[in-house]
Amino acid sequence: MSDVTLGPGQPIPAAEVEDVELYHPKSWLTKYVFSQDAKVIAIQYSTTAMAIGFVALVLSWLMRLQLAFPGRFSFIAATDYYQFITMHGMIMVIYLLTALFLGGFGNYLIPLMVGARDMVFPYVNMLSYWIYLLAVLVLAAEFFVPGGPTGAGWTLYPPQAILSGTPGQDWGIILMLLSLILFVIGFTMGGLNYVVTVLQARTRGMTLMRMPLTVWGIFTATVMALLAFPALFVACVMMLLDRLLGTSFFMPGFVTMGEHLVYHGGSPILWQHLFWFFGHPEVYIVAL
């Protein structure tokens, strides 16, 4: 490779020139699937979010048809309706709106508007998307397991979410909790990337007070999410332990159908506190 001249009469050895993508053409798989480019990752986030959002849209159509024409659409059983409304609410609030607005618009707009070449941690950015995609696939797998998705409502209140008799109380609730745990992990990786990029990778002369309002909105929403989502993560881990290992974080001691359950000492109110520590800021996260 020949020397590169950047100024008049000043050749620079090629070995000292910054290694750029121009010298190493990438395959289609590396460039568009396992990409570390923030713009490509933004498109991946947006495409995945809209795809799972379309599933939520179909579920809402089925629910509305059932309400409008109960005689003609009687193939939707009562348990199916609870499952549909649970999946619809969870997808719309978390997997569509949060991922589309922060994952999609955030990745696309932040580097452009602050004058950064890319996100500070491009590899972490790529991992955050793939963990989000895994969370979406685990969520979609609920439709194909015995018992179907959980029908406990999108707030997943215990003890209803765990007790037998609730639709999807077996694999449905387990996969839902695993999916939420994965989502929080992926979002935390992406959110930290946003914060560091905004604080450390702004172009010269762009102070915080000169940042565009759009970046301020995404930055503020990201900080709120980083403070709120850990509560959801902890709550999901605790309920998963209640479901799989018989712990009693949220399950009080009571008798159901003449049978005394092994749970004792838990408080369902604890789940509500943890869930709504996430749920109330989520409204403003989506709005911003």
Query: What is the pLDDT tens value at each position of the chain, 288 positions in all?
Result: 444 444 444 554 545 444 545 555 677 677 778 889 999 999 999 999 999 999 999 999 999 888 888 877 667 888 888 999 999 999 999 999 999 999 999 999 999 999 999 999 999 999 999 999 999 999 999 999 998 999 999 999 988 888 878 888 889 999 999 999 999 999 999 999 999 999 999 999 999 999 999 999 999 999 999 999 999 999 999 999 988 988 888 877 664 555 555 666 778 899 999 999 999 999 889 887
- Domain ranges (residues) in the chain: 35-157+167-223
Decide: 271 and 158 in contact? Cβ < 8 Å. Answer: yes
The CA-to-CA distance between both ends of the chain, in Å, stands at 49
Looking at residue 88, what is its pLDDT?
95
Quote the tokens at residue 42.
Answer: 């933004």
How wide is the angle at C-alpha 255 spanned by C-alphas 249 and 256, nearest 5°? 100
Asked if residue 286 lies in contact with residue 97, where contact means CB atoms within 8 angstroms, the answer is: yes
**Which of the 8 DSSP states describes residue 217?**
H
Structure tokens that stand for 283 in this block: 């409204």
Q: Which residues, including other chains, have CB under 8 Å from residue 222's CB and lie 6 or more apart?
A: 102, 106, 191, 194, 195
Per-residue confidence (pLDDT) for residue 264, from 0 to 100: 67
Task: Please give the Cα distance from 139 to 197 (Å, whole number).
Answer: 30
Instruction: For residues 178 and 240, give the distance between their C-alpha atoms in angstroms, rounded to a whole number.
Output: 8
pLDDT at 10: 54
Shortest CA distance to 87 belongs to which of 137, 135, 152?
152
Please state whether beta strands 4-7 and 255-256 pair in parallel, antiparallel, or not at all (unpaired).
unpaired
Q: Are strands 10-12 and 259-260 parallel, antiparallel or unpaired?
A: unpaired
CA–chain centroid gap for 78, Å, is 29
Round to whole Å and give the CA distance between 117 and 135: 29
Q: What is the identity of the amino acid at 113?
A: M
pTM, 2 dp: 0.86
